[in-house]
Structure 1
């Protein structure tokens, strides 16, 4: 019985870890697409966050928090670039996103060979878990929900916060109006371009945070194409979740659980 519980607990923990990069990227994509800007560049933003967090952590002697902050900052810059191309220059949103993805794939592959110029994979220190006293001792749920790293707790906060802002505040109403009826919003005096810039900026920051989680918590190293298409899976989860924060994150958990199934099987 204990072996079954241990396996189930390990499987759920692996599912959460595999779904976290998807959840951050999907949540970022939700903010962008709710404002009317399709963000195909989630893959590139996630990969950028992974590389920048790894490089910053490496150069600062293992300071993972500076690595995370650097990833968020550079992800925001990529978000602003995507917004500039799509909102200001009116470039096709699909073309802009694909261009960012292709450029980032090449640049991170090139830069990783310069930064991590060794034949062996550079191991990163990783973000430590924080066990909540008492709650972390609960069977299964304790290790799953109350013995996690700060980024997991941050996501658990962002999901209800995003839901509340989007559907219970004037800010969310403005954002949804810009995404659904931009001309009507502009007539009402809403600055459509500003709202979209801020939304895509936030999208890039969240997607990059997913990349930082991937290399600093999950795998603890960076390699070329470490994102492995997770940005596109996040887009699928976003559509599957019908652009709602709760259902989108649940869709990410479903994809994470599917990916964790073979690796968690005791016979594999």
Structure 2
């Protein structure tokens, strides 16, 4: 009797059915028996506070994934995203602090004069237009883009190994940010300064359940939700997006039609620095208002998770966002369920699901020219 072995696609389908079946079973038990452990897990997972936390935790991962996606689609594998997150998170706090910290405008007065024994100051009121927290965010994004540009020069201009250069970016940032914090603040972590407050959209924020989640949130959540469709449109519906994809798939063809491949790759790497910079500032100024440089820093591997996210999403910005939300949602759920079962079980949960997703997704096809150098005029 002939024994037939299952191919990879059949195994993936069975794994998908089994996973969805398990999730469906847990959900059904939770609905029928709301007081059971399954019920607590189910209703906690769909709770408003869990969804709000999941969106907030997804911001640095999703934004960084969007940037890494652009770089890799252009043919440059940027595994230094973790370093970009670290340097931008620290620089954002430092710049905001130097410009005034928690209670200052961050701008010098225009005119100071004395009259009748009293001193008068004319303040331009620029803090109303550009608060120092936003200038800190701008500084963080700029530092990330500068480091990304340095990475691009090494890999594109001097044809350095992209993996080694990416690791160097991470290690440099991992050492530089805590060291700079020690110089300025006397410790690896900065002082707590100003942070972004939530934005509330009138009327829309009053919509039951959905309103508080989508229309009464941290500004970084709004930026993330806007960035995903913009990144998708830019990659799939513009000439530049076509150039990025062609640069990663067939750079010679792009060169033949007169487009400078290296310039496209520089632009894509800078985009990765831009998005990672926003993600890093979301961790510091968008959350607690400080930078934690202890251990692996407050970034804590999110740059590497972002790489997994855009691979899970098959280089689609919407898919990358979904994968980011999956991981952040499990983190938020883990925090809220630690009293129900042993803590270790829920600490493992996000990583177990990552392994399951790897099985379901299988191998993602890299761009044909990813990691390869290109010079105009090559045969």
- Give the alignment's TM-score, normalised by structure 2: 0.67
Mapped contact 1:51–1:108 kept (Cα < 8 A): yes
1:79 and 2:148 correspond: yes
Q: What pairs with 1:163-182 in structure 2 (closer than 5 Å)?
A: 163-182=232-251
1:251 and 2:323 correspond: yes
Mapped contact 1:7–1:266 kept (Cα < 8 A): no
Q: What pairs with 1:120-135 in structure 2 (closer than 5 Å)?
A: 122-135=191-204
- From the superposition, tell whether residues 257 and 247 of structure 1 become closer, same or farther in structure 2 (CA, over 3 Å): same
Task: Report how many residues are paired.
Answer: 267
Deviates more, 1:44-53 or 1:147-156: 147-156
Mapped contact 2:181–2:187 kept (Cα < 8 A): no
The match for 1:193 is 262
SS, match of residue 47 in structure 2: helix
Cα distance between partner residues in 1 of 2:44 and 2:62 = 26
Cα distance between partner residues in 1 of 2:338 and 2:308 = 29
- From the superposition, tell whether residues 119 and 172 of structure 1 become closer, same or farther in structure 2 (CA, over 3 Å): closer
The match for 1:42 is 81
Cα distance between partner residues in 1 of 2:264 and 2:190 = 41
What's the CA shift for 1:120?
8.4
What's the CA shift for 1:265?
3.1
After superposition, the CA RMSD in angstroms is: 2.1
Mapped contact 1:10–1:264 kept (Cα < 8 A): no
Mapped contact 1:34–1:175 kept (Cα < 8 A): yes
Cα distance between partner residues in 2 of 1:242 and 1:5 = 29
- From the superposition, tell whether residues 140 and 6 of structure 1 become closer, same or farther in structure 2 (CA, over 3 Å): farther
Match of 1:242 among 294, 297, 314: 314
Cα distance between partner residues in 2 of 1:120 and 1:70 = 18
Cα distance between partner residues in 2 of 1:209 and 1:119 = 22
Mapped contact 1:75–1:208 kept (Cα < 8 A): yes
Match of 2:59 among 20, 31, 37: 20
Deviates more, 1:129-138 or 1:92-101: 129-138
The match for 2:177 is 108
Mapped contact 1:5–1:140 kept (Cα < 8 A): no
The match for 2:286 is 217
Unaligned runs of 5+ in 1: none
Cα distance between partner residues in 1 of 2:44 and 2:71 = 40
1:202 and 2:271 correspond: yes
Bigger Cα Rg: 2
Flag the structure with more relative contact order, 1 or 2, with Cα contacts below 8 A and sequence separation at least 6.
Answer: 1
The match for 1:32 is 71
1:158 and 2:230 correspond: no
- From the superposition, tell whether residues 7 and 248 of structure 1 become closer, same or farther in structure 2 (CA, over 3 Å): closer
SS, match of residue 93 in structure 2: helix
Cα distance between partner residues in 2 of 1:116 and 1:222 = 11
Mapped contact 2:94–2:136 kept (Cα < 8 A): yes
Cα distance between partner residues in 2 of 1:238 and 1:119 = 31
- From the superposition, tell whether residues 23 and 187 of structure 1 become closer, same or farther in structure 2 (CA, over 3 Å): same
Cα distance between partner residues in 2 of 1:7 and 1:256 = 14
- From the superposition, tell whether residues 232 and 187 of structure 1 become closer, same or farther in structure 2 (CA, over 3 Å): same
